[in-house]
Amino acid sequence: MAIKKIPIDDFATAEREIKTVVTLEHKNVINFYNREIDEEKKHVYLGLGYCEGTLKDIINAHSNIEIVRKDPAKESLIKIIKEDRKKYGGRS
């Protein structure tokens, strides 16, 4: 079993999310076993099925798609520059 520690500020939202996870039953979804709430430290601990590797590792092992992390600020800036160049002329 793997333990996931989640810091939270809103326990009602956390409980709603946990109830959703509990109802998921699918061969491709890690099993949910239990949860503990520490209201004093404001954390939820989830007992989950253990999975070796990262999501990126698993996806790369089962597909030809490579996961690339994008910088949203950089992507937005590039988009703005390209739009300005189209609108006002210049290199794109």
Reported as a single tens digit per residue, the pLDDT across 23-53 is 877 776 778 888 888 888 888 888 888 777 7
**Distance from C-alpha of 31 to C-alpha of 83, rounded to nearest angstrom:** 46
> Does 58 score more than 80 pLDDT?
no
Q: Which element (helix H / strand E) includes 44?
A: strand 43-48
What is this structure's pTM?
0.48
Q: Determine the pLDDT at residue 92.
A: 45
User: Residue 44, Cβ neighbours under 10 Å: how many?
Assistant: 19
Can you give the pLDDT at residue 67?
56
Residue 2 near residue 53, CB atoms below 8 Å: no
Rounded CA-CA distance 28/62 in Å is 13
How far apart (Å, rounded) are the C-alpha atoms in residues 6 and 25? 22
Query: What is the rounded CA–CA span in Å between residue 67 and residue 62?
Result: 12
CATH 3.30.420.40, applies to 1-51: no
Q: Is the pLDDT of residue 82 over 70?
A: yes
Question: 38 with 55: CB under 8 angstroms?
Answer: no
Give domain limits for the chain: 1-51, 52-92
